[in-house]
Amino acid sequence: MSTEKYSFTSYALHCANQIPELLRSDLSRHVSLPKLGRKVGLNVRTLHDCFKQLYGKSIFEYGQCLRLEHGKKLLEETDQIIQVIAEQCGYAEHANFGAAFKRTYGMGPGEWRKKERGLG
């Protein structure tokens, strides 16, 4: 994979900078790159490359980080079951949420919740 930096127009940079807010607006679902591109007025390739240059990660990776951070907050602040939290974070299967959470934070969501509440 090339690490070459591309020069993007100010319009492309402005469009790519809109993506984090669009992702935050509904963390319960994944939005496809083509749909995001249409919303901000950029083709998929330019949007992907420009976003990655600006944020150092793909839109998918950035969105996953946002969803997992939201899940962590819900685990800490609510008593909702993990399945419900997973759905609110865009994961149809709580096992997928659990695997992503463990990969990111080094422990599963239930274990993390216990630790944060001083129960583990």
Q: What is the DSSP letter of 33?
A: H
Model-level pTM?
0.87
- Indicate whether 1 belongs to any domain: no
pLDDT tens, residue by residue, 65-93: 999 999 999 999 999 999 999 999 999 99
Question: Residue 46 belongs to what domain range?
Answer: 10-61
Angle at 20 between CA 58 and CA 57, to 5 degrees: 20
**Tokens coding 27:** 């963390």
Residue scoring higher pLDDT (30 or 63): 63
As a 3-state breakdown, the chain gives helix, strand, coil percent values, each rounded to 5, of 65, 0, 35
Residue 5, pLDDT above cutoff 80: no
Cα separation, 5 vs 115, whole angstroms: 42
- Indicate whether 53 belongs to any domain: yes
**Structural domain total, the chain:** 2
Mean pLDDT of the chain: 93
- Indicate whether 87 belongs to any domain: yes
